[in-house]
Amino acid sequence: MTNLTAPIRILLLLLAMPFATGLHATEQPPKPPIRIGLTPVFLDDQATFINEWRDYLQRHLAQPVTFVQRGTYREIVDLLHEG
């Protein structure tokens, strides 16, 4: 190495580290939401509870959560079969 001062050598090493270790920033694709089916048992007036539950799950799972509400159990089962 040439006659560089110590702070400049340290700076160059720090700048080169991500490339040497393969840690360069790459953008991760967004995670798909976790979809949870709700049956008619959950009434529309329970929206506050549902919203708080969704927020809790999103924080703890670090992933978006979407609730899908249908009118019958059969419709929820059909959605599961469809994927």
pTM of the model: 0.56
* pLDDT, tens only, 37-60: 887 776 667 888 889 999 999 999
Taken in order 67, 73, 75, 80, the sign of the CA dihedral is positive
Does residue 46 lie within any of the structural domains?
A: yes
Distance separating alpha carbons of residues 27 and 18, to the nearest angstrom: 15
- In this prediction, residue 11 carries a pLDDT of 65
The 10 Å Cβ neighbour count of residue 29 is 5
- HEC secondary structure over 22-43: CCCCCCCCCCCCEEEEECCCCC
For the chain, what is the domain count? 1
DSSP letter, residue 83: -
Does residue 66 lie within any of the structural domains?
A: yes
Domain ranges, residue 32? 27-82
